[in-house]
Structures are given as structure tokens and as C-alpha cells.
Structure 1
């Protein structure tokens, strides 16, 4: 099929035109876009669909949030079926809580929204020295996430409303002390026991299976004796480094770049100032602001009379608690760090000068410029290496986009091998052997899960043609071709006979241990004095005495209506155990602080259980359903 397409490109273009054009006439472009963008429905909430596209977008957003909060984290950790399914569950939960909040008419006031935004550490980092928010940086930050301040704040408001749905359950949850003590006493109860273990290792010498038994087990468990499919491949990687190595930056272009970026390379001028602030909120009554202005004007007269006393006057009179103790010193700052009127005044002064009265939204300032830090003008030669690196990187980025398109087309159009693409783009053909579907240790492209997925696709295995170009990481493309393929197969009996025997012996020894344990349990119940048991030990969920969890749970769940009580425990691959429960002991007496802490923990468990029950009720009420199985 693909051979025909390659050889009859023009014919196929004409046929596709005849097929697609009438469809556009009948259904319109919008229909195509909605079909392409929506995708299959993966979940529903209150009759509203959540599509594959919604899910993909939510997961990308989640990964980006994690990447921005933890820059060094390996994003591959989030590129797993489990992580993606978790995103879908979170998406369904968010939609469900939004629907419930709407139905319950829950909302968030402006003051509650403002308080939430003030607590956001990312937004807090955008505040200037005077406490005001840098709106330009705020908008830029949101723009990188595809949001405006209005849409972000609407989202936060919706989240606050959704939180109220579940928080109402949590704050009203109640657990009595009596109920907590009954439950905790039962959970932490101790039991005095004796144990007899029947380990498979004790019976290994008694097991000698016949060849017939081995062959029977081999045939019944052939899937345990298979060799994994393997492949040898050739592959080519296109990345920025491969593109950048041949780039030569012209001298003229380098000098032009230097001239265009001279200001950035030199840095920005910074100024150091001290100020005296008399507070007067912008929203304060006019009389209050007039009084503050009068006080500030009087201070300005004192400062102008005795400029050397500026620091002392600031300590005594400034209402800026952050700088008053330091004589009003604000340290060095650049443009954009202060509110506009303060900045304009500070940058208009000469060193040592004192401003007039400067009015801002915070009140009235008297500013003294104490120092100026001029940016250092750097020479072209001193910056040459840095400039060349930056220009090469920019040129490489542009060239990579062109090379990526070439690479993608070449590996598809000349699919019998990777050599043409490698020669055209001056890349090396690399080789890897004995690869399996699952990546092994090693940081090479051949071990990348995305590349292995296309290498072991049915079309790649069957036709041994080039795979499509796969993006392994930003600015990294790769394509591969299978040169030798070995399918999975059941290994011959003679080749795995030793492994078969090992498994048969282990299974039969385990069977014998369980059988003897069950016999002894029956015998010792009838004749307790004949029992051969370990020394007495006291076990609990807190102190398991090196006993397996399944044994401890069985002993603690055993009936104590008539003591001693006997119980048999299947330990799986570890054999069998017989437990004699002799006495029930109360839990260790906890101190007052420990007891209070345990009761608080129980109350949290109880609240969590009520929350889960309420969430389940909401899912049923609003018909929230995930339509795909857990991956």
C-alpha cells in the first residue's frame, strides 16, 4: 500500500482532492476542526463530555506546572500510563466539584480571592520593594501559561468555590472519644502467641521430580520459559549540536548583534536612595491625606535646612517600617522596581540631591539619592565568545527547524535505509543490538521509550522500513530501522530443563510444607501438649516481632472466645505457619500526649472516610464516569 502511495503521488493527490473537497462543501471546515480537536470521549460529568483532547491538554498543563516548580525533575516520570490516568482522575474530580459548587450556589468573594492571591508564593515574588505588584511581569507570567489576569483570577475563584464542596464535610466531621478509644484499643491490641513455621527449604532434599513431571510442568507453563523478542537496529539522531557544529558566524553579523545588545550586555543603571514616608492610603478621606501632606511638608523643610540629618529624621519620623530603622535606606534598585512616580523622581536626581514632596498611592515621600551605580560598558572583544555562542544558538535554532523538516521527509520518502538522510544532513548512522521493547540502563537514543515504541510497531517489524521521525526531547529527533528481528519464542525444554526443575522442586516443597502444616494444625488442636512451638512472643500491629504481616493479621483476627485458639496461615512462597493464640493483652498504655495524638489521627481517618463517602455520593448524583480502564 505504502509503495503504491510513494510511486503514484500525483494520482493520490488528485483522488484525495476529489474525496475531500465535496466533504468540505457538505460539512464545512468547522466540522472538520471539531472532529480533529475533540477526540474520543474519555469521561462524562453531569452529561458533559471530557474528550481525549481535554485529557491531553490537562496532562500537558500538569507536566508544565511540575517542570516549573521543580526544574531539575525528569519529565519522563510523568510520561507514564499511571501518571496520565491520575491526571484524568483529577480532571474528573475538578469538573465534578465545579458542577457541585454551581448547584449548591457556592462562590468566592472579592476579599477571599484577594487573600488567596496574596498567599500565592509565585505572585508574591512579583511584588516590588514597596509591596505593589509588578503587573507587567504578572501578565507575562500568565501569558506563558496561555492565560490573562482575568481568566486566571476566574479560575482561582472557581477553585475556591469547588474547595467549599468538600471542606464542608471535613469541618463538620465528628468522632467521639469513646468511639475512638474502642477502635484504637482494638487496632493496637496485643496477643501472646506461639508459632511453628513450615518452610519449603526444609523439604527440598526430599523432592526428586521425574522427567515426566518436569515435562508436564513445562508444557503447562510454557509462558514462563519464553525468550523476549529482540531487534538489532540502525538509527540516526538529529539535534541542535549536530546542526550547530557547521555554523560559522560572520564577523559583521557578530558586531551588529553586539551593537543591538550593548545595553543588555552592559546591564542597567541602578540607584541607591533613602526616603521618609508619611502614610496616606489612596482611598483615605481627603482630610486625612491633607493632614499627611502637611506633616510631610514640614519634614521636608527640616530636611532642606539640615540635609546631613536626613537619616536621623527618617528613623524618628518615617512610617515605612522596613526602612526607617536603617535611616530610610532602600539599597540599590533599578527601573521597574518602584512605583512610577517614585522611580521618576529618584532617577531625575543627582547624587546627594533631595527631592521635593513625591506623592504615591502609599502616601508622601521625601527622597534623597545617595549613590549611582553606572553599568559597565564592555568591549566587543571581551564579549566576543559569549556573543558568538548566543548567535550560534539562535542560528542553530532556525537551522534546526529547517533540518527537522528535511529529516522527517527523507526518512519517510527514502524508507529503505537511513544513509541518505544521514549523508544529506551530515549525521552519523549509529547501531544498537539485542534491544527489547522495554528500555534498559543507558542514556542513549536507542534506549528511549518513544523510539522503542515505533521500532517494535507491527509495520516496522514486518517491513523493516525506516520508522517515522520521533521527537525524543525538545530539539531532538530520531528515526530507526530494524536490521535483524528475533520474535519471542518458547525456549526448548532441554535448554531450560534446569530452570524447570528448580521451579518444580520449589513448588512441590511448598506444597509439602503446606500439607504438613495443615496436618500438624489438626493434630495439635486435638492434642495441644504434643505441639512443638516456638517460645512465647507478644505481637501487635506496632510490634510484629519479625513476623510476616499476614501471620500477624491472622493472629489478631483469630477468635478468642475460647483460648488457646489455633489458626493456620498460608505464607505463600514462604510456606505455612501454625499459630497458637494463648492470651489477649490490652494495648500499651499511652501517655496523655500520645493518646491525644492518636485520637486526633483517628478523627482525621474518620473525616477522610466521610469525605470519600460524600465524594462517591456526588459521583452517583452527577453521573461522573471514566469510560476507559485504568492503564
Structure 2
């Protein structure tokens, strides 16, 4: 599904640009008219129920999309909070309410608009069109309905938000603030300049040690034995014979048979089933004329289809219907397709939709893999089945032996031919440096530090530490949490205290300089004047630049003192405030647009709240507590 989304960005924008949080647009169309099970409903919109299953599906889809976007950085926990679950339900409710409003106002998307979108997106490839539907779990008819609904919703949202505008006075004021430039001089008081003045005493060291005891705690640790059980340890115990392969092939020959595949195109001249005779006669005559034209120039089929076919789904694709499946078309059309040879053009075929001219553009006959051709594939599948069964059997034996002989890992290791390994300095929390090591798994560590394991020195249960990877352990030695001796950390503490005291002296000196400068207005000691603004890279420390831009400049010169962690203390003299000589017109217009967008979003939020009230929304459960993402 996600590969499709990456390669069809324009179509997906129709889905993903909707509502307040766009990630829920894939939920609700097929079930909108469902009354639902009252006992299983979480909300009611316009009398229609939103079920627990629909809500959970929305949560899963949201997580799947973010997992695809963020990869290894994806954190599922952010979706498991009550607030995240409530937000998903709120958006389902908003979508249903807006959908009802669209239906009541008969907002529709024309066939021409839909055909234009598909032509732009699929570039004439009907298989991509079908893949789009399949990726969303829909038929092509369902996809059409989905796209129409979501485009209508997008238009509604755009209509509401497009009325918003940014008041000129507000936009100008904000842009002026953004463009403002301040002329600043800097004077630094580095921490290093004050270290020689600091004398660290034993009493200061002891006081720091006692005040910051948590910094010097060594967490409880264990030395443990562990055994790993993985599929690789089972693989040597499984084999597949030629007889088994032959038997499988004989019973499953159909699996290795590729049915005949026909790719067809058609040209349709519309004529409804109940159309007047004259209308049907005219439509047939037009189809006959097209057929005569094709008999002379068969290679022009796609060009003529684009120009004259009245089927909006295939005309832009040159009449291409894609790979034909049994039952996908009305009987007369299907019979015609299956009666043609490759490249052959049918006569005029009448159906309930009108008159068709049909051709088969590609034909692949039925083909069947021989036993030898399928041998490798069958062997791999049979081995996989056997491995799965054997793994399950041995995993159960592994767990049972760990429990039945809980005072040692050796019986389980001997029975399954595993190796008992040792690891030291494990703590309750996973160590980032150990990354994906199985003994660093949070579930395994929790089992290892459980009361039964700690107090009774029993084996842990078999814990799944990865895909088909089981681990069990047993504590060999336990070391409780302890405070590192003062003598051991004395040098570190002296260094920290010296830096803190030097930083304090730097602040004191800087504050004294500010007081003296305010009294005299003297700029002695300050560096050259530099310009600071919100639109340019700051010429000095960004923390200081932020403080300078926030400072009160009603009276100049103004002074700001800033602690610079790890560096010292900075004093900044603001001597001049002015607007940029040449304002950036493009950026100012962009700011106007951003303000208008923000107002538009607020208007849309207000509109949605009004529509929800009109739809008589009712919450039927406490969603933040009851929702599940499993």
C-alpha cells in the first residue's frame, strides 16, 4: 500500500489534504450508512453509529502511515495515550458530520472532473487504477465513490477557508516586528577567566556530594546466565524429500498454472437500455462508423477511443480496460472479449450501456510450470512449514523444561543443544549502547529482575526478544544499588564545584558591569556593533540573540545579561532599533498568507463545530480509556 502512495502523490493528496487531521479520511465511507450495534458503538452522528471496530481501525491506519513516514524513528507509544485516541475519535466524528452536510447539500464531483484526475494520475495505465483500489481494499467502483466524496469534502473545506483574510494593520504590525533590526554590542565574561579565583574546600566537596547523591548512585546490577532459542537452531533438524515434493505438486498443480490473460480495449457509444429507438439507432450508426474507420486503420484504436469513446473511465486511457477478469464486465462484452484473437477487432456489440467496439491488445495463453520448474519453490514452502511446526514443538519443550527444572538452565540447553552464555552488569533498564542485544530486551530484563528470579534464583520464563527469538535467563550474582564512595568521585566533584563557582563569579561581574553601564551610559569594553534581527542568522550565541530580541527597548541604550551554559556570562548593549532598509516584499506576502491560513483554519474549526452540533453528535463511551490499538 505505501509503495503505491509514494508513487501516486497527486491522487493521495486528494485523500490526505482533508479535515483537521487528514489521516482519517480512509475510514467511514463504506460504513457511513451502518446503523451499527448499539452495544458496540462509541459515538452517534446524525443517528448513525461509529463502532469500536471502526475506531480501532482508524488508530491502526494512523499508526501504519506514521510508521511508513518515520521508519526507525517511529514511536508507537505516542499513539497509545488517551489524548491521541480521543483525537482520532474526534476526527472520525468531524468527518461523519461533514459527510452528512455534503449529502444534504447534494455536493457532487462530475465525471469529467474525476476523469481528468485519473488521466493526470494514472497516465493511461488501467492496471495502476486497479492497484489504487486494491491498495485501499476497494473495488474500482468503491474507489470512484471514495475519490468523489473526498474531493467534495476538500472543496467544502476550501470554500470555508478561502473567505478568510488577514487584516492589513495586523499583518503590517507583525511583519514590522519580524523585520526589526537591533544594533548590539557584546561583552563576554568567560568562566575560565574566574577559575583562578576559586578555592574548593573539602567542606564544599562534601556538601555537593550530599546534595547531589543521586548523581553518584550505581544502580542495582546482576551477573546472569542466559540461553537463546532461534529458528536457526531448528533448521538442521528439518529436511524435505523428493517424494514429498512430487506429492505436493500432484495435489496442487492448479497453483502452478497461470490462466489465460487477455488485455482488452473498447470504444463505447452511450445508449441507455430504455432509450428511445431513434436514439439507439443513432448511437449504433455512430458505432458502425467508428468500426468502419478502425477496419481501415486498426493501429489508430487508442487515438480514436480518446477522441470518441463516451466511457469516462477508459476514454482518457485510449479505451484500455486492462487485464480482463471473468465476471468483471456485462455478458455481451465479456463474450466478445473471449471470442477475439489478439489484435482482432469485434463487430458492434450491444449492452445495457450502449454500443461497444472491442479489441484484444494482448493475449497470454494458459501455462503450467513443470514439476522440475516448481521443485525449488515447493521445497522452500514445505521446509518453511516443517520449520514452523518443529520450532513450535521445540519452543514448547524449551518453556516446559525451564519451568520444570527451574534451578538451572543446563537441562533446557542440553535437551535442545543450546549454549549457556554469561553476561555481567545488567540493570533494570535497557542500555542504549547494547542496542538490539537480546539480553537488553525490556521484557527479558523485567523477568530477570522479578521477585521470583531475584529472591529464589529461578529461571525466567522464555521471553520473546525478537522475531522468533526466545531468551531465558537466571541470576548468578546480584549487586544492590549503592552510592559511590566520596573518595572515588572527589576529583570529579572538585572540578564541577570549581566550574559552578567560576560561573557564579562571571555572573556577578557581568551584573556589576550592567549596573555601571546603566549609570554612566559608557560603552567601554563592549565589542563592535552588530545587527540582530529575527530574519537573519544571529552574529553571536543564539540564546543571547533571543534575549536581545525580547528585551524592552523603550529606553536606549538597553542592557541584557545572559548566562551562557558552558561559556560564562554575556552582557549585551542595545544602542539602536530600526526597520530594515529594504523589506522583503515576497516574505511579507508569505506572512500575510500564513496569517490568512491560520484564520481560515480557525474558521474551519468553528464551521465543523457548528456542523457537529447540527448533526446532534453523542459520545456513547469514554474513548480515552476503552480504545485499543492492538
TM range (shorter): 0.7 to 0.9
The question of 1:398 aligning with 2:389 is answered: yes
Equivalent residue pairs, number: 562
Aligned counterpart in structure 1 of residue 74 of structure 2, from 74, 77, 80: 77
Q: Is the 8 A contact 1:524 1:530 kept in 2?
A: yes
CA drift at 1:556: 2.2
Aligned counterpart in structure 2 of residue 561 of structure 1, from 531, 542, 554: 554
Map Cα deviations across residues 272-293 of structure 1 (whole Å, 9 max, x no partner): 55x5513326688455455323
Aligned to 1:552: 545
Q: Is the 8 A contact 1:98 1:158 kept in 2?
A: no
Aligned to 1:310: 298
Map Cα deviations across residues 539-596 of structure 1 (whole Å, 9 max, x no partner): 1122343423332232223222321122222334433222111111113533433321
CA drift at 1:95: 2.7
Distance in 2 between residues matched to 1:113 and 1:243, nearest whole Å:
60
Aligned counterpart in structure 1 of residue 492 of structure 2, from 458, 478, 499: 499
Map Cα deviations across residues 146-182 of structure 1 (whole Å, 9 max, x no partner): xxx99xx99x989998x99998985554420211110
Q: Is the 8 A contact 2:349 2:356 kept in 1?
A: yes
Distance in 1 between residues matched to 2:379 and 2:250, nearest whole Å:
13
Map Cα deviations across residues 301-328 of structure 1 (whole Å, 9 max, x no partner): 676xxx57433576457734999899x7
Q: Which runs of 5+ in 2 are unaligned?
A: 1-38, 43-49
CA drift at 1:185: 0.9
Distance in 2 between residues matched to 1:467 and 1:457, nearest whole Å:
9
Q: Secondary structure at the match of 1:529?
A: coil
Matches within 5 A, 1:485-496: 485-496=478-489
Root-mean-square deviation over aligned CA pairs? 5.1
Distance in 2 between residues matched to 1:323 and 1:622, nearest whole Å:
44
Aligned to 1:280: 270
Distance in 1 between residues matched to 2:600 and 2:316, nearest whole Å:
48
Distance in 2 between residues matched to 1:142 and 1:241, nearest whole Å:
40
Q: Secondary structure at the match of 2:248?
A: helix
Aligned to 1:417: 408
Distance in 2 between residues matched to 1:283 and 1:314, nearest whole Å:
26
Aligned to 1:253: 244
Normalised TM-score (structure 2): 0.72
Farther off after superposition, 608-617 or 230-239 = 608-617
Matches within 5 A, 1:42-57: none
Aligned to 2:583: 590
CA separation of 1:338/1:513 partners in 2, compared to 1, >3 Å: closer, same or farther? same
Q: Which runs of 5+ in 1 are unaligned?
A: 1-36, 42-49, 144-148
Q: Is the 8 A contact 1:78 1:84 kept in 2?
A: no
Aligned counterpart in structure 2 of residue 372 of structure 1, from 363, 369, 384: 363
CA separation of 1:456/1:337 partners in 2, compared to 1, >3 Å: closer, same or farther? farther
Aligned to 2:232: 241
Map Cα deviations across residues 232-281 of structure 1 (whole Å, 9 max, x no partner): 333333444333331112322211222344444353433455x5513326
Aligned counterpart in structure 2 of residue 386 of structure 1, from 373, 377, 380: 377
Farther off after superposition, 563-572 or 219-228 = 563-572
Distance in 2 between residues matched to 1:421 and 1:268, nearest whole Å:
51
The question of 1:438 aligning with 2:430 is answered: yes
Q: Is the 8 A contact 1:410 1:421 kept in 2?
A: yes
Matches within 5 A, 1:43-442: 60-66=60-66, 69=68, 73-74=71-72, 77-79=74-76, 81-85=77-81, 88-97=82-91, 107-109=101-103, 129=126, 141=137, 170=161, 173-271=164-262, 275-280=265-270, 285=275, 288-297=279-288, 299-300=290-291, 309-312=297-300, 315-316=303-304, 319-320=308-309, 333=323, 335=325, 339=329, 341=331, 342-351=333-342, 353-359=344-350, 363-369=354-360, 372-374=363-365, 376-436=367-427, 437-439=429-431, 440-442=433-435
Q: Secondary structure at the match of 2:596?
A: helix
Distance in 2 between residues matched to 1:52 and 1:134, nearest whole Å:
29
Distance in 2 between residues matched to 1:551 and 1:528, nearest whole Å:
21
Q: Is the 8 A contact 2:266 2:321 kept in 1?
A: no
CA drift at 1:627: 7.9
Farther off after superposition, 442-451 or 163-172 = 163-172
Q: Secondary structure at the match of 2:528?
A: coil
Normalised TM-score (structure 1): 0.72
Q: Secondary structure at the match of 1:395?
A: helix
CA separation of 1:57/1:138 partners in 2, compared to 1, >3 Å: closer, same or farther? closer
Q: Is the 8 A contact 2:464 2:470 kept in 1?
A: yes
Matches within 5 A, 1:585-624: 585-607=578-600
